[in-house]
Chain A
Protein backbone atom coordinates (compact mmCIF):
# COMPACT_ATOMS: atom_id res chain seq x y z
CA UNK A 1 0.00 0.00 0.00
CA UNK A 2 1.28 3.48 -0.88
CA UNK A 3 1.44 5.83 2.09
CA UNK A 4 2.42 9.52 1.97
CA UNK A 5 4.22 10.63 5.09
CA UNK A 6 6.08 13.80 5.90
CA UNK A 7 9.25 13.05 7.83
CA UNK A 8 11.49 15.83 9.12
CA UNK A 9 9.87 18.27 6.70
CA UNK A 10 10.24 16.11 3.58
CA UNK A 11 7.32 14.33 1.93
CA UNK A 12 7.97 10.64 1.21
CA UNK A 13 5.84 7.99 -0.44
CA UNK A 14 6.49 4.51 0.91
CA UNK A 15 5.02 1.25 -0.36
CA UNK A 16 4.61 -1.01 2.69
CA UNK A 17 2.10 -3.39 4.30
CA UNK A 18 -0.27 -1.05 6.17
CA UNK A 19 0.20 -2.74 9.56
CA UNK A 20 4.00 -2.62 9.29
CA UNK A 21 5.37 -0.83 12.33
CA UNK A 22 6.24 2.82 11.73
CA UNK A 23 9.57 1.95 13.42
CA UNK A 24 10.47 -0.52 10.65
CA UNK A 25 9.15 1.79 7.95
CA UNK A 26 11.46 4.56 9.16
CA UNK A 27 14.49 2.31 9.56
CA UNK A 28 14.13 -0.08 6.57
CA UNK A 29 12.25 1.91 3.97
CA UNK A 30 13.47 5.44 4.71
CA UNK A 31 16.90 4.40 6.07
CA UNK A 32 16.44 6.66 9.08
CA UNK A 33 18.21 4.44 11.56
CA UNK A 34 18.49 7.01 14.36
CA UNK A 35 15.22 5.65 15.75
CA UNK A 36 16.10 2.56 17.81
CA UNK A 37 14.29 -0.61 18.77
CA UNK A 38 14.53 -1.78 22.37
CA UNK A 39 11.61 -3.83 23.58
CA UNK A 40 9.23 -3.66 20.62
CA UNK A 41 6.33 -3.57 23.10
CA UNK A 42 5.86 0.06 24.09
CA UNK A 43 7.78 -0.17 27.36
CA UNK A 44 11.20 1.38 26.72
CA UNK A 45 10.78 4.47 24.53
CA UNK A 46 13.89 3.79 22.40
CA UNK A 47 11.66 4.06 19.32
CA UNK A 48 10.15 7.43 20.32
CA UNK A 49 9.31 9.85 17.50
CA UNK A 50 7.05 12.89 17.36
CA UNK A 51 3.79 12.81 15.40
CA UNK A 52 2.38 16.28 14.92
CA UNK A 53 4.43 17.34 17.95
CA UNK A 54 3.25 14.54 20.27
CA UNK A 55 5.60 11.81 21.59
CA UNK A 56 4.69 8.30 20.44
CA UNK A 57 6.33 4.88 20.40
CA UNK A 58 6.89 4.10 16.72
CA UNK A 59 6.84 0.36 17.49
CA UNK A 60 3.13 0.75 18.33
CA UNK A 61 2.07 2.88 15.36
CA UNK A 62 0.97 1.06 12.19
CA UNK A 63 2.51 2.62 9.08
CA UNK A 64 -0.94 3.51 7.78
CA UNK A 65 -1.34 5.98 10.65
CA UNK A 66 1.69 7.83 9.26
CA UNK A 67 -0.49 8.88 6.32
CA UNK A 68 -0.83 12.65 6.18
CA UNK A 69 0.91 13.45 9.47
CA UNK A 70 4.24 15.11 10.23
CA UNK A 71 6.79 12.82 11.84
CA UNK A 72 9.94 14.12 13.48
CA UNK A 73 12.81 11.72 14.19
CA UNK A 74 16.12 12.43 15.89
CA UNK A 75 17.62 13.12 12.43
CA UNK A 76 15.28 16.12 12.16
CA UNK A 77 16.46 17.96 15.27
CA UNK A 78 19.76 19.52 14.26
CA UNK A 79 19.81 22.56 12.01
CA UNK A 80 22.64 21.72 9.62
CA UNK A 81 25.74 21.41 11.81
CA UNK A 82 24.09 23.16 14.73
CA UNK A 83 22.71 20.69 17.23
CA UNK A 84 19.41 21.26 18.97
CA UNK A 85 20.04 22.62 22.51
CA UNK A 86 18.80 19.32 24.00
CA UNK A 87 21.33 17.37 21.93
CA UNK A 88 24.12 19.82 22.77
CA UNK A 89 23.45 19.63 26.50
CA UNK A 90 23.26 15.80 26.46
CA UNK A 91 26.86 15.92 25.21
CA UNK A 92 28.06 18.59 27.68
CA UNK A 93 26.37 17.03 30.72
CA UNK A 94 27.07 13.41 29.71
CA UNK A 95 23.39 12.52 29.43
CA UNK A 96 24.38 9.68 27.13
CA UNK A 97 26.56 6.60 27.46
CA UNK A 98 25.83 3.64 25.16
CA UNK A 99 23.37 5.80 23.27
CA UNK A 100 20.55 3.35 22.64
CA UNK A 101 18.05 5.34 24.68
CA UNK A 102 19.37 8.73 23.58
CA UNK A 103 17.34 9.48 20.42
CA UNK A 104 14.12 8.71 22.31
CA UNK A 105 15.23 10.62 25.42
CA UNK A 106 16.15 13.66 23.37
CA UNK A 107 12.79 13.68 21.56
CA UNK A 108 10.80 13.17 24.78
CA UNK A 109 12.75 16.06 26.32
CA UNK A 110 12.20 18.27 23.27
CA UNK A 111 8.45 17.61 23.37
CA UNK A 112 8.41 18.62 27.05
CA UNK A 113 10.39 21.81 26.45
CA UNK A 114 8.18 22.78 23.50
CA UNK A 115 5.32 22.99 26.01
CA UNK A 116 7.13 24.02 29.17
CA UNK A 117 10.43 25.89 29.16
CA UNK A 118 10.73 25.88 32.96
CA UNK A 119 10.06 22.29 34.05
CA UNK A 120 10.88 21.12 37.56
CA UNK A 121 13.08 18.05 37.94
CA UNK A 122 9.92 16.14 38.87
CA UNK A 123 8.23 17.26 35.64
CA UNK A 124 11.29 16.16 33.66
CA UNK A 125 11.14 12.76 35.37
CA UNK A 126 7.48 12.40 34.45
CA UNK A 127 8.13 13.40 30.82
CA UNK A 128 10.83 10.72 30.42
CA UNK A 129 9.07 8.06 32.53
CA UNK A 130 8.44 6.06 29.35
CA UNK A 131 12.12 6.15 28.31
CA UNK A 132 14.29 3.55 30.00
CA UNK A 133 18.05 3.95 30.34
CA UNK A 134 20.26 1.19 31.70
CA UNK A 135 23.47 3.22 31.69
CA UNK A 136 23.27 6.72 33.12
CA UNK A 137 21.15 6.37 36.23
CA UNK A 138 18.98 9.20 34.86
CA UNK A 139 20.45 12.05 36.97
CA UNK A 140 22.74 13.25 34.20
CA UNK A 141 19.88 13.06 31.73
CA UNK A 142 17.79 15.27 34.00
CA UNK A 143 20.77 17.65 34.40
CA UNK A 144 21.07 17.81 30.61
CA UNK A 145 17.39 18.62 30.13
CA UNK A 146 17.53 21.30 32.82
CA UNK A 147 20.55 22.88 31.14
CA UNK A 148 18.84 22.76 27.74
CA UNK A 149 15.77 24.43 29.24
CA UNK A 150 17.95 27.21 30.65
CA UNK A 151 19.62 27.78 27.30
CA UNK A 152 16.30 27.77 25.44
CA UNK A 153 14.84 30.28 27.94
CA UNK A 154 17.80 32.56 27.26
CA UNK A 155 17.24 32.14 23.52
CA UNK A 156 13.57 32.96 23.93
CA UNK A 157 14.36 36.14 25.90
CA UNK A 158 17.14 37.32 23.60
Chain B
Protein backbone atom coordinates (compact mmCIF):
# COMPACT_ATOMS: atom_id res chain seq x y z
CA UNK B 1 0.00 0.00 0.00
CA UNK B 2 1.41 3.42 -0.82
CA UNK B 3 1.67 5.20 2.49
CA UNK B 4 0.07 8.66 2.21
CA UNK B 5 2.81 11.22 1.62
CA UNK B 6 2.74 13.28 4.80
CA UNK B 7 5.15 15.82 3.36
CA UNK B 8 2.43 17.43 1.24
CA UNK B 9 -0.33 19.64 2.66
CA UNK B 10 -3.73 19.19 1.04
CA UNK B 11 -6.91 21.21 0.78
CA UNK B 12 -9.37 18.42 -0.12
CA UNK B 13 -9.38 16.71 3.26
CA UNK B 14 -12.05 16.25 5.94
CA UNK B 15 -12.15 18.39 9.07
CA UNK B 16 -10.88 16.82 12.27
CA UNK B 17 -14.39 16.80 13.71
CA UNK B 18 -15.70 14.89 10.67
CA UNK B 19 -13.37 11.92 11.08
CA UNK B 20 -15.28 8.73 11.78
CA UNK B 21 -13.65 6.70 14.58
CA UNK B 22 -13.88 3.09 15.69
CA UNK B 23 -12.26 2.08 18.95
CA UNK B 24 -11.13 -1.54 18.93
CA UNK B 25 -10.12 -3.59 21.92
CA UNK B 26 -9.94 -7.06 20.38
CA UNK B 27 -7.73 -7.92 17.43
CA UNK B 28 -10.45 -9.96 15.71
CA UNK B 29 -12.86 -7.03 15.90
CA UNK B 30 -10.24 -4.60 14.55
CA UNK B 31 -9.44 -6.84 11.59
CA UNK B 32 -13.12 -7.40 10.73
CA UNK B 33 -13.83 -3.68 10.78
CA UNK B 34 -10.78 -3.03 8.60
CA UNK B 35 -11.75 -5.78 6.13
CA UNK B 36 -15.28 -4.40 5.78
CA UNK B 37 -13.97 -0.85 5.29
CA UNK B 38 -11.50 -1.93 2.62
CA UNK B 39 -14.23 -3.93 0.83
CA UNK B 40 -16.58 -0.94 0.64
CA UNK B 41 -13.80 1.36 -0.57
CA UNK B 42 -13.71 3.37 2.67
CA UNK B 43 -10.64 2.04 4.50
CA UNK B 44 -9.85 2.66 8.15
CA UNK B 45 -6.47 4.14 9.01
CA UNK B 46 -5.05 2.83 12.28
CA UNK B 47 -3.93 5.19 15.02
CA UNK B 48 -1.57 3.72 17.61
CA UNK B 49 0.30 6.36 19.65
CA UNK B 50 -0.78 9.15 17.30
CA UNK B 51 2.61 10.88 17.42
CA UNK B 52 2.81 10.90 13.63
CA UNK B 53 -0.85 10.83 12.60
CA UNK B 54 -1.99 13.64 14.92
CA UNK B 55 0.69 15.93 13.49
CA UNK B 56 -0.33 15.04 9.93
CA UNK B 57 -3.97 15.84 10.76
CA UNK B 58 -3.05 19.16 12.40
CA UNK B 59 -0.96 20.14 9.39
CA UNK B 60 -3.70 18.88 7.03
CA UNK B 61 -1.26 16.59 5.23
CA UNK B 62 -3.01 13.29 5.86
CA UNK B 63 -6.56 13.47 7.17
CA UNK B 64 -8.21 10.07 6.85
CA UNK B 65 -12.01 9.92 6.63
CA UNK B 66 -11.96 6.96 9.03
CA UNK B 67 -9.63 6.12 11.89
CA UNK B 68 -9.47 2.92 13.89
CA UNK B 69 -7.94 3.32 17.35
CA UNK B 70 -5.78 0.26 18.02
CA UNK B 71 -3.97 1.58 21.15
CA UNK B 72 -5.83 -0.89 23.41
CA UNK B 73 -5.98 -3.90 21.08
CA UNK B 74 -5.03 -7.08 22.92
CA UNK B 75 -2.07 -9.22 21.93
CA UNK B 76 -0.15 -6.43 20.16
CA UNK B 77 2.02 -5.26 23.04
CA UNK B 78 4.86 -6.72 25.03
CA UNK B 79 8.32 -8.16 24.56
CA UNK B 80 9.06 -11.87 24.60
CA UNK B 81 12.20 -13.93 24.37
CA UNK B 82 12.30 -17.27 22.56
CA UNK B 83 15.29 -19.49 22.00
CA UNK B 84 16.48 -17.88 18.78
CA UNK B 85 14.85 -14.48 18.75
CA UNK B 86 13.15 -11.67 20.61
CA UNK B 87 9.64 -10.64 19.63
CA UNK B 88 8.09 -7.21 20.15
CA UNK B 89 4.39 -6.41 19.76
CA UNK B 90 3.75 -3.62 17.23
CA UNK B 91 2.21 -1.43 19.95
CA UNK B 92 5.34 -1.61 22.10
CA UNK B 93 6.31 1.97 22.96
CA UNK B 94 9.82 3.41 23.07
CA UNK B 95 9.42 3.75 26.85
CA UNK B 96 8.71 0.00 27.10
CA UNK B 97 11.75 -0.78 24.94
CA UNK B 98 13.91 1.37 27.23
CA UNK B 99 12.66 -0.48 30.31
CA UNK B 100 13.10 -3.96 28.82
CA UNK B 101 15.85 -6.19 30.21
CA UNK B 102 15.40 -8.61 27.30
CA UNK B 103 16.11 -5.94 24.69
CA UNK B 104 19.02 -4.55 26.73
CA UNK B 105 20.55 -8.02 26.90
CA UNK B 106 20.15 -9.07 23.26
CA UNK B 107 19.78 -5.98 21.06
CA UNK B 108 21.08 -2.99 23.04
CA UNK B 109 21.13 -0.71 19.94
CA UNK B 110 17.33 -0.83 19.90
CA UNK B 111 17.38 0.65 23.42
CA UNK B 112 19.71 3.39 22.19
CA UNK B 113 17.45 4.12 19.21
CA UNK B 114 14.40 4.29 21.52
CA UNK B 115 16.24 6.55 23.95
CA UNK B 116 16.82 9.23 21.33
CA UNK B 117 13.46 9.03 19.55
CA UNK B 118 11.88 12.39 20.26
CA UNK B 119 11.84 12.98 24.01
CA UNK B 120 10.02 11.43 26.99
CA UNK B 121 6.57 12.55 25.81
CA UNK B 122 7.07 10.96 22.39
CA UNK B 123 8.55 7.82 23.94
CA UNK B 124 5.48 7.23 26.14
CA UNK B 125 3.18 7.04 23.13
CA UNK B 126 5.25 6.41 19.99
CA UNK B 127 5.24 2.74 18.94
CA UNK B 128 7.53 0.49 16.95
CA UNK B 129 4.67 -0.46 14.61
CA UNK B 130 3.96 3.24 13.97
CA UNK B 131 7.63 3.91 13.24
CA UNK B 132 7.67 1.05 10.70
CA UNK B 133 4.27 1.71 9.08
CA UNK B 134 4.91 5.46 8.95
CA UNK B 135 7.64 4.54 6.44
CA UNK B 136 9.78 7.65 6.91
CA UNK B 137 13.35 7.06 5.70
CA UNK B 138 14.36 8.88 8.91
CA UNK B 139 12.64 6.39 11.26
CA UNK B 140 15.22 5.81 13.96
CA UNK B 141 14.50 2.16 14.75
CA UNK B 142 14.51 1.08 11.11
CA UNK B 143 18.30 0.65 10.62
CA UNK B 144 18.31 -1.73 13.57
CA UNK B 145 15.46 -3.89 12.23
CA UNK B 146 17.12 -3.85 8.83
CA UNK B 147 20.69 -4.76 9.84
CA UNK B 148 19.51 -7.40 12.34
CA UNK B 149 17.44 -9.30 9.70
CA UNK B 150 14.12 -8.71 11.49
CA UNK B 151 10.85 -10.21 10.31
CA UNK B 152 7.37 -8.67 10.50
CA UNK B 153 4.13 -10.50 11.10
CA UNK B 154 1.24 -8.84 9.24
CA UNK B 155 -2.36 -9.84 9.95
CA UNK B 156 -5.77 -9.46 8.36
CA UNK B 157 -8.97 -11.51 8.42
CA UNK B 158 -7.27 -13.65 5.73
CA UNK B 159 -4.68 -14.73 8.31
CA UNK B 160 -1.11 -13.89 9.25
CA UNK B 161 1.88 -13.65 6.94
CA UNK B 162 5.53 -13.23 7.84
CA UNK B 163 7.59 -10.90 5.68
CA UNK B 164 11.25 -10.05 5.87
CA UNK B 165 11.83 -6.49 7.03
CA UNK B 166 14.23 -6.21 4.09
CA UNK B 167 11.29 -6.72 1.69
CA UNK B 168 8.76 -4.49 3.49
CA UNK B 169 9.51 -1.16 1.79
CA UNK B 170 8.90 -1.11 -1.93
CA UNK B 171 9.75 2.57 -2.56
CA UNK B 172 9.69 6.01 -0.96
CA UNK B 173 6.92 5.75 1.66
CA UNK B 174 5.58 2.59 -0.01
CA UNK B 175 5.25 -0.70 1.80
CA UNK B 176 3.64 -4.12 1.63
CA UNK B 177 0.74 -3.36 4.02
CA UNK B 178 -2.71 -3.89 2.51
CA UNK B 179 -5.56 -1.54 3.48
CA UNK B 180 -7.04 -4.17 5.79
CA UNK B 181 -3.77 -5.27 7.38
CA UNK B 182 -2.02 -4.49 10.66
CA UNK B 183 1.55 -5.03 11.71
CA UNK B 184 1.16 -7.48 14.59
CA UNK B 185 4.73 -7.97 15.76
CA UNK B 186 8.40 -7.73 14.96
CA UNK B 187 10.83 -10.54 15.52
CA UNK B 188 14.61 -10.05 15.73
CA UNK B 189 17.03 -13.01 15.57
CA UNK B 190 19.48 -13.01 18.48
CA UNK B 191 22.95 -12.03 17.25
CA UNK B 192 25.87 -14.40 17.89
CA UNK B 193 27.39 -14.08 21.35
CA UNK B 194 30.23 -11.56 21.39
CA UNK B 195 28.87 -9.53 18.45
CA UNK B 196 29.70 -5.84 18.24
CA UNK B 197 26.31 -4.08 18.11
CA UNK B 198 25.92 -0.35 17.51
CA UNK B 199 23.24 2.27 16.85
CA UNK B 200 24.66 5.68 15.97
CA UNK B 201 22.44 8.73 15.41
CA UNK B 202 23.82 11.92 13.92
CA UNK B 203 21.51 14.89 14.46
CA UNK B 204 21.55 18.52 15.52
CA UNK B 205 20.82 17.52 19.10
CA UNK B 206 20.35 14.08 20.58
CA UNK B 207 16.71 14.37 21.66
CA UNK B 208 13.78 15.69 19.64
CA UNK B 209 15.63 16.02 16.34
CA UNK B 210 15.10 14.33 13.02
CA UNK B 211 18.25 12.39 12.25
CA UNK B 212 20.64 13.49 9.53
CA UNK B 213 22.17 10.01 9.32
CA UNK B 214 21.68 6.89 11.44
CA UNK B 215 23.62 3.65 11.39
CA UNK B 216 22.72 0.18 12.60
CA UNK B 217 25.79 -2.04 12.72
CA UNK B 218 26.36 -5.57 13.98
CA UNK B 219 29.40 -7.72 13.34
CA UNK B 220 31.12 -10.81 14.61
CA UNK B 221 34.61 -12.18 14.08
CA UNK B 222 35.20 -15.93 13.77
CA UNK B 223 37.91 -17.84 15.67
CA UNK B 224 40.34 -17.23 12.77
CA UNK B 225 39.84 -13.45 13.02
CA UNK B 226 37.88 -13.11 9.78
CA UNK B 227 34.46 -11.45 9.60
CA UNK B 228 31.97 -14.25 10.13
CA UNK B 229 28.78 -12.20 10.16
CA UNK B 230 28.03 -8.55 9.47
CA UNK B 231 24.94 -6.37 9.02
CA UNK B 232 25.12 -2.68 8.09
CA UNK B 233 22.12 -0.40 7.49
CA UNK B 234 21.72 3.35 7.21
CA UNK B 235 18.75 5.68 7.66
CA UNK B 236 18.31 9.04 5.91
CA UNK B 237 20.83 8.33 3.13
CA UNK B 238 18.33 6.90 0.62
CA UNK B 239 14.54 7.02 -0.07
CA UNK B 240 14.11 3.98 2.20
CA UNK B 241 16.17 2.55 5.02
CA UNK B 242 19.23 1.16 3.26
CA UNK B 243 20.85 -2.21 3.88
CA UNK B 244 24.44 -2.24 2.54
CA UNK B 245 25.00 -5.71 0.97
CA UNK B 246 27.94 -4.60 -1.20
CA UNK B 247 29.78 -3.04 1.72
CA UNK B 248 29.10 -6.18 3.76
CA UNK B 249 30.44 -8.38 0.94
CA UNK B 250 33.61 -6.29 0.87
CA UNK B 251 34.46 -7.48 4.39
CA UNK B 252 32.65 -10.78 4.94
CA UNK B 253 35.12 -13.69 5.28
CA UNK B 254 38.09 -11.30 5.35
CA UNK B 255 40.57 -10.09 7.92
CA UNK B 256 39.86 -6.42 8.67
CA UNK B 257 43.26 -4.93 7.78
CA UNK B 258 43.67 -1.33 6.60
CA UNK B 259 43.34 -2.21 2.91
CA UNK B 260 40.11 -4.13 3.44
CA UNK B 261 38.60 -1.34 5.52
CA UNK B 262 39.67 1.31 2.95
CA UNK B 263 38.07 -0.72 0.17
CA UNK B 264 34.83 -1.17 2.15
CA UNK B 265 34.65 2.56 2.87
CA UNK B 266 34.94 3.28 -0.88
CA UNK B 267 32.17 0.79 -1.66
CA UNK B 268 29.97 2.37 1.03
CA UNK B 269 30.39 5.78 -0.63
CA UNK B 270 28.96 4.31 -3.85
CA UNK B 271 26.25 2.35 -2.13
CA UNK B 272 24.48 5.23 -0.33
CA UNK B 273 22.18 7.49 -2.38
CA UNK B 274 21.65 10.54 -0.18
CA UNK B 275 19.76 13.70 -1.11
CA UNK B 276 20.23 17.38 -0.30
CA UNK B 277 17.48 18.66 1.97
CA UNK B 278 16.89 21.23 4.68
CA UNK B 279 18.76 19.15 7.24
CA UNK B 280 21.97 18.28 5.35
CA UNK B 281 23.66 18.11 1.99
CA UNK B 282 24.14 14.84 0.12
CA UNK B 283 27.91 15.33 0.25
CA UNK B 284 27.85 15.68 4.02
CA UNK B 285 25.65 12.63 4.46
CA UNK B 286 27.89 10.48 2.23
CA UNK B 287 31.00 11.55 4.13
CA UNK B 288 29.37 10.90 7.50
CA UNK B 289 28.20 7.44 6.35
CA UNK B 290 31.72 6.58 5.20
CA UNK B 291 33.25 7.81 8.46
CA UNK B 292 30.83 5.68 10.44
CA UNK B 293 31.61 2.58 8.35
CA UNK B 294 35.33 3.15 8.96
CA UNK B 295 34.84 3.76 12.65
CA UNK B 296 32.85 0.63 13.37
CA UNK B 297 34.78 -1.72 11.05
CA UNK B 298 37.90 -0.57 12.91
CA UNK B 299 36.16 -1.22 16.24
CA UNK B 300 35.12 -4.67 14.98
CA UNK B 301 38.70 -5.47 13.95
CA UNK B 302 39.76 -4.86 17.55
CA UNK B 303 36.82 -6.71 19.14
List residues of A whose CB falls within 8 A of some B CB. Answer: 1, 17-21, 40-43, 45, 48, 51, 54-57, 59-62, 64-65, 67, 108, 111, 126-127, 129-131
Contact = CB atoms under 8 A, between A and B. Distances in A.
Nearest to B63: A19
Contact of B59 (A41, A57, A67, A129): A41
A43 B122 CA distance: 9
A17 B54 contact: no
9 contacts: A18-B21, A20-B16, A42-B118, A55-B120, A55-B124, A57-B51, A61-B50, A64-B23, A130-B121
B99 to A, nearest CB: 10
Contact of A42 (B71, B95, B121): B121
Nearest to B64: A19
Contacts of B121: 42, 45, 48, 55-57, 60, 108, 130
B57 A19 contact: yes
Nearest to B51: A60
A18 B50 CA distance: 13
Nearest to A57: B121
A129 B207 contact: yes
Interface residues of B, number: 29
B162 interface: no
Contacts, number: 91
Given A61-B50, A64-B23, A20 B17 contact: yes
Interface of B: 16-19, 21, 23, 47, 49-51, 54-55, 57-59, 67, 69, 71, 95, 118-122, 124-125, 206-208
A41 B50 CA distance: 11
A18 B17 CA distance: 8
A126 B118 contact: no
Contacts of A1: 21
B54 A21 contact: yes
Contacts of A21: 54, 58
B122 A17 contact: no
B120 A129 contact: yes
Given A18-B19, A21-B54, A59-B54, A64 B69 contact: yes
Contacts of A56: 121, 124-125
A56 to B, nearest CB: 5
Q: Is the interface of B mostly helix, strand, loop or mixed?
A: mixed
Given A19-B16, A45-B119, A62-B47, 9 more contacts: A18-B19, A18-B23, A20-B17, A21-B58, A42-B121, A51-B124, A60-B121, A64-B23, A130-B119
Contacts of A18: 19, 21, 23, 67, 69
B6 to A, nearest CB: 12
A67 B21 CA distance: 13
B177 to A, nearest CB: 21
B47 A130 contact: no
A59 B21 contact: no
B126 to A, nearest CB: 9
A127 B122 CA distance: 12
A61 B207 contact: no
Contacts of B95: 54
B43 to A, nearest CB: 16
B69 A43 contact: no
Contact of B69 (A20, A40, A62, A130): A62
Contacts of B120: 55, 108, 111, 126-127, 129-130
A72 B6 CA distance: 31
Contacts of B51: 42, 57, 60
A34 to B, nearest CB: 17
B54 A130 contact: no
The 3 closest A-B pairs by CB, nearest first: A130-B119, A129-B207, A18-B21
Contacts of B207: 126, 129-130
